[in-house]
Amino acid sequence: MADQVRDNPAESRFELMAAGQRAEAYYQIEGKVITFTHTDVPQVLSGQGVGSRLVKGALEQVRARGMKVASTCPFVSAYLGKHPEFGDLVA
């Protein structure tokens, strides 16, 4: 499925393929806290909700692993602020 977010631990990022392009959400893990540091969505995909789908999928995986979230990435921080359903994940 093209809308599936996958973890790429070798590159410390979550990835989402859309329209042949890869969007990425980079992270660092320390103990049970994952810190999102940067998201990158190709310009051609801008404004199509790809970044939001990427972050949502990543956060769902983080929840399934029983981890907490921190963010130094403005996009992820804004997403968390707009989506209180993920508030329980915030470290």
Beta-bridge partners for 6: 15
Cα distance between residue 26 and residue 9, in whole Å: 10
> Which residue type, as a one-letter code, is found at position 14?
F
Beta-bridge partners for 35: 28, 70
Predicted local confidence at residue 1, as pLDDT? 37
User: In b/e form, how buried is each residue of 26-48, taking b as 16+ CB within 10 angstroms?
Assistant: bbeeeeeebbbbebebeeebeee
Predicted local confidence at residue 81, as pLDDT? 96
Taking each helix axis as running N to C, give the angle between helix 74-82 and helix 50-64, from 0 to 180 degrees, rounded to the nearest 10: 80
Domain 5-89 CATH superfamily: Gcn5-related N-acetyltransferase (GNAT) (3.40.630.30)
Average pLDDT along the chain, 91 residues, taken 10 residues at a time: 82 95 97 97 92 96 97 97 96 92
